[in-house]
Amino acid sequence: MADRATSPAALVAAGDFEVCLVPLRRRHLRSVLHIEAKVYPRPWTLPVFLSELSLRHSRHYVAARVGGVVVGYAGLLFNGDEGHVTNIAVDPAWQRHKIGSRLLAHLARAACGHQVRHLTLEVRVSNSGAQAMYRQFGFEPAGVRRNYYVETNEDALVMRARDIDAEPYAARLEIIEAAIPGTTVDTAGGPS
């Protein structure tokens, strides 16, 4: 399965892949750092991830795996009734296969489990694909952070989803999740 897991086109064409969401652990960080280097001009470092993972009471990190291979990850910071999406990243070979949507749906559910009412995130103003996904999840523009991405001198669009603890948002999540087959959640973390 390892060879097939690295070939998303073959798996998607065959309808033969399942995404397993597991708590992000130290053992996943080599793969996470590899993805970070592919998708970000200034990737997080190992010490940053280790620091984030040590803050278990105020953070929630998850990895997406296909056939045991980490293909994406995401993180959430809790601060009272607010949640902040710290990152969502998907290996470029697996982008456009709803891995990001799976990860964001999981973060939204985790946020609700922590009595979070609103979610925020920053996204590059040029990243229209990610913005479209966030809008599906009820995120709306809430401001701009000038030169937020210093490595490229690019602005960040601040987006916010309100009242994620209310029934209309739960119904929105159910509709999104119903359109994404083949996702399992392993709260124990499963084998590495």
Most confident of 74-78, 91-95, 148-152: 74-78
Which among 134, 148, 149, 151 is annotated as catalytic?
Answer: 134
Residue-averaged pLDDT of the chain? 89
Can you give the CATH number for the domain in which 33 is found? 3.40.630.30
pLDDT: is 85 or 11 the higher one?
Answer: 85
Residue 191, domain member (yes or no): no
pLDDT band with cut points at 50, 70 and 90 for residue 164: very high
**CA–CA distance, 79 with 115 (Å, rounded to integer):** 10
pLDDT band with cut points at 50, 70 and 90 for residue 10: low
**154 catalytically annotated:** no
Q: What is the mean pLDDT of residues 5-24?
A: 71
pLDDT band with cut points at 50, 70 and 90 for residue 1: very low
Q: What is the mean pLDDT of residues 150-157?
A: 90
pLDDT band with cut points at 50, 70 and 90 for residue 15: low
Overall number of domains in the chain: 1
Residue 190, domain member (yes or no): no
Phi/psi for 161 (5° steps) reads -110, 125
Which among 122, 149, 169, 174 is annotated as catalytic?
Answer: 122
Residue 167, domain member (yes or no): yes
Residue 192, domain member (yes or no): no
Quick one: pLDDT at residue 3? 46
**CA–CA distance, 112 with 119 (Å, rounded to integer):** 10
Which long-range contacts (C-beta less than 8 Å, at least 24 apart) are formed by 110-114? 110/60, 110/62, 110/76, 111/60, 111/76, 111/78, 111/83, 111/164, 112/164, 112/165, 112/170, 114/60, 114/78, 114/83
Most confident of 2-11, 119-128, 183-192: 119-128
State the pTM of this model: 0.88
From residue 150, how far is each of 39, 43, 145, 153, 156 by CA, in Å?
16, 12, 11, 5, 10
Domain containing residue 67: 2-185
Quick one: pLDDT at residue 5? 44
**134 catalytically annotated:** yes
**Is the confidence at residue 126, as pLDDT, over 90?**
yes
